[in-house]
Amino acid sequence: MSNILTRLLKLGALYAVAQQGLAFAYLASRDVRKTLASNHNKNPNGVLYEQTERYEHYTVTKRIENGIERVTYTPHERKFDTPIIMQHGMWHGAWCWDGWQALLATWGWESHAHSLPGHAGSLPQMPIWLCTLDYYLSFLAAEIRRMPTKPILMGHSMGGALAQWYLKYFGDSLPATVLVAPWTAYSTFADGLWPMIKRDPLVLPMSMLSWSAGNWVRNPQRAAEALITDGARLTPRELAAKLNNESILAVYQHNPPFWSPPQNVTTPMLLLSGERDAVVTLEGHKRMAKLYKADHRVIANSGHNLMTEATYQSTAQIIHDWLVEQRMV
């Protein structure tokens, strides 16, 4: 019996090694610039859904066009001409920004949030487990190109990683970037792996064997442990119901040898950290702020999802005040 068990364990280990070898070979075969030179939106043109609601200070337009969900908040009294593009993180969609979009619109900002393919209201275009950061970046770049003027780029978590990829591959020429609890500049493993393992020892082998990072938020309890603290705008059950699956390949790709951060960034940058973030470390963010010469703010008593925490209003105020300081017009 012991010999059979030993053989099974060896076979399991060999399978895991072979599977991870395939994952890394797939990432090594990616040509980022070739990916970015192509249009990856294969959905037919046309508007599948559109809804407009008018409120006291702003109008909200929700549209699914060419398969991509977009949510735009247009202030009735526009005080700033520079629009804001909001890029969500893993598992999320455009929905996660609604609290900040409403506040920013009240203060005179136009903002545009979109959902990546296979997230929230955007149609899937390829199996989620094969989606990589360069693939997602092609969609973010398309959203930025749609703007009549270069926008402020705001990214949360994986969206913060995509903002860094944008600065590296499309140029350091945005009016400003706001990174909200982003993946750190150097490595997701170095600055997030150990806290994840301590919190949930089973999640790494589960994710590796399935190529799915959805295991990290596989039920309301795990989602809440990773993303929010008590008093958040969404309950654990409400949050988990909104989350999508995600590929582990995207996590792998934001590590050497597939990734190195841009150097000598000149785009003004605000880096926001949650004091109680369970996904990325504060020390990693401190190193990141030093590399990018970013203004760094730590939000007390807050977790990873700063835009849905109980502190979301005061955090939005920090963003607004900082943008005004940058002389955004």
Across residues 157-183, what is the average pLDDT?
97
Q: Note down the domain range covering 41.
A: 32-325
pLDDT at 16: 57
Q: How far apart are CA 52 and CA 59, in angstroms?
A: 7
pLDDT, average across residues 297-311 = 98
For position 8, what pLDDT does the model report? 47
Query: Is the CB of residue 139 less than 8 Å from the CB of residue 116?
Result: yes
Task: Say whether both 105 and 119 belong to one domain.
Answer: yes
pLDDT of residue 12: 47
What's the pLDDT tens digit per position in 248-288? 999 999 999 999 999 999 999 999 999 999 999 999 999 99
The crossing angle, in degrees rounded to 10, of helices 133-146 and 158-170 is: 70
* 324 Cβ neighbours under 8 A, 6+ residues apart: none
Q: Are residues 45 and 3 in the same domain?
A: no
Q: What is the pLDDT of residue 212?
A: 86
In contact, 128 and 152? CB cutoff 8 Å:
no
Pair (221, 255) in one structural domain: yes
Q: Which pair of tokens denotes residue 100?
A: 């900040």
- Report how far residue 312's alpha carbon sits from residue 100's, in angstroms, rounded to the nearest whole number: 7
Q: What is the pTM of this model?
A: 0.94
Section 224-247 average pLDDT = 96
- 260 DSSP 8-state letter: -
Claim to verify: residue 103 and residue 121 sit in the same structural domain = yes
In this structure, the answer to whether residues 14 and 101 fall within a common structural domain is no
**Total domains in the fold of the chain:** 2
In the prediction, which pLDDT does 208 show? 75
Same domain for 199 and 53?
yes
Q: What is the pLDDT of residues 20-62, one digit of tens each?
A: 788 888 899 999 999 999 888 888 889 999 999 999 999 999 9
Which helix H or strand E contains 270, and what residues bound it?
strand 269-274
Q: Are residues 46 and 25 in the same domain?
A: no
Same-domain pairing of 88 and 189 = yes
pLDDT confidence band for 299 (50 / 70 / 90)? very high
Cα separation values, 228 from 4, 199, 302, 328, Å: 44, 14, 7, 31
**pLDDT tier, 1 (very low <50, low <70, confident <90, very high otherwise):** low
Higher per-residue pLDDT: 246 or 8: 246
* pLDDT over threshold 90, residue 135: yes
